[in-house]
Amino acid sequence: MKTIKILCICLICFALASSAFVLLKVEGAENKYISDMKDKWITYRCFEDKVGQDTSHAGDTITIAEDEYEKGIGMHCMPDDPTYLEINIEGLGYKSFYAYVGVQSYSAQNVFLEWGSIKFSVVVDGVSLATSADLKYNESSELIAVDVTGKKTLRLEMSNLGNYSCDWGVWGEAQLTNLTLEEIHKANQTPVPVTATPYILPTQKPETKDTDKAYVSDLEWGASKSYDEAGVIRDGTTAQEEIYFDSEYFEKGIGMHAVPTGEAFVEINIEGLGFTTFAAYVGIADTLTSHDISMASVEFLVYADDTEVAKSEVKRFGEEPSLLKADITGCKVLKLVILPSSDGISGDWGTWGGAVLAKTDNLEEIFATPKPTETPEPTETPKTTPKVSATPNKNATPTGNTSRQNNNSFGTVITIVLAVVIIAAVVFVIIKMKVRKK
């Protein structure tokens, strides 16, 4: 009997040890499941445009490896990242968010899922606070938790790792809670991650605040991403050429190349500068390189503090650029993004011609060519009336044609001398001939 009891205890311990992380009930804890907050969802982007509430995106019970979750969120990765769900959490008063993330391992329709592989991230107010390992099909879930105290937006992101066809991502037990990160990890018997130093965007030069407009290429940049090693290019295309759209030339602007995963982008801190308008002519610029970009197709987006404020149609090679204008009044962080269309990233060289920030929405003023400063006309020196001598100076050197007359006299003398010489020579020759005849 004693042996049986010991065996039962061992089996229970084994079952507990092999189970998924399940947050232990903490007395006094308050929580709100993300799946029950649809009225707070701001936007989402996922394959088939489906977000599962307490299910996978296909409606199956959330299952990671052998573990099932009654509550949570399910999404299918996009072929071109990002895949995300963004939630408004402003004023809700919760301290933390957490979830158990992984690849869905069950399909009622027996859909093939074995190739699934996903990376999960949590972004709060535009800053990535937590990222999972690369999680694959039938691997155990991973606890992901972040501090959301006093924050406004929560964004749950997923990235495919090269092949999106089996990438059913699920967020088991996804919820907001009044527990601290320390309490969450203590309840799960997991170590508290070391908090990374938050990234701070560089500020602009003080004199920028006093200008009526500023070109993006002249400002200090924060994070940026482009497919090429050279990164986002200032005052040029991604091939580092001058910016031409057909025959139209832009001295200022930026160039970037779309990336296969995520966004090509640049972030700029414009807090407190007073700019109200962003404007640029966007499209696929000309190139003199040998690269074929005839298949290029790119979409341009402008974000003000993580809110989309402008979006272009898909721009293709050979098309005229489109004006992209956005109201950025009160914006702290401006983010310029390009995304490839569904045909891959080949040739996707996105160019922002004349990208500029201004304190007016008048396009003529925004894109006006600065007038050069006029050179002041010299002040005329007052003319002084020359004094005339009362009595002419009789000894003064003659003026007017005197030199010309001297030259003519000299020429006459030379002519007479030459004539005399010639006549003498002729006479000498005649005398010589007569002497020989004698």
Candidate from 154-168, 226-240, 416-430 with smallest mean pLDDT: 416-430
pLDDT at position 351 over 90: yes
Res. 188 pLDDT band, cuts 50 70 90: confident
The per-residue pLDDT for range 75-128, each reduced to its tens digit, is 999 988 689 999 999 999 999 999 999 999 999 889 899 989 999 999 998 888
Res. 432 pLDDT band, cuts 50 70 90: low
CATH architecture of 20-188: Sandwich (2.60)
pLDDT at position 375 over 70: no
Whether the model clears a pTM of 0.75, i.e. scores above it, the answer is no
- At 428 the pLDDT is 72
- At 396 the pLDDT is 39
* DSSP string of 307-371, one letter each residue: EEEEEPPPEETTSPPEEEEEE-TT-SEEEEEEEE-TT-STT-EEEEEEEEEES---HHHHTPPPP
- At 418 the pLDDT is 72
pLDDT at position 404 over 90: no
Backbone angles phi, psi at 60, to 5 degrees: -85, 160
Identify the bridge partners of residue 263 per DSSP, sorted by sequence position. Answer: none
Which residue, chain included where needed, has tokens 């099932």? 68
The domain spans of the chain are 20-188, 206-366
| DSSP for residue 108 | T
CATH number (2.60.120.1060, 3.40.1170.60, 3.40.640.10, 2.30.40.10) of 206-366 reads 2.60.120.1060
pLDDT at position 39 over 60: yes
- Equal fold, 20-188 vs 206-366: yes
Give the residue from 217, 236, 220, 219 showing the smallest Cα distance to 228: 236
Beta strands in 125-164 (DSSP E): 127-131, 135-136, 142-147, 153-160
| DSSP for residue 266 | E
Q: In sequence order, which residues have a C-beta less than 8 Å from that of residue 264 and are 6 or more positions away?
A: 225, 226, 227, 232, 256, 257, 258, 337, 338, 339, 350
Percent helix, strand and coil across the chain, each to the nearest 5:
20, 35, 50
Q: In sequence order, which residues have a C-beta less than 8 Å from that of residue 357 and are 6 or more positions away?
A: 213, 214, 215, 216, 219, 270, 273, 275, 277, 278, 328, 334
Res. 369 pLDDT band, cuts 50 70 90: low
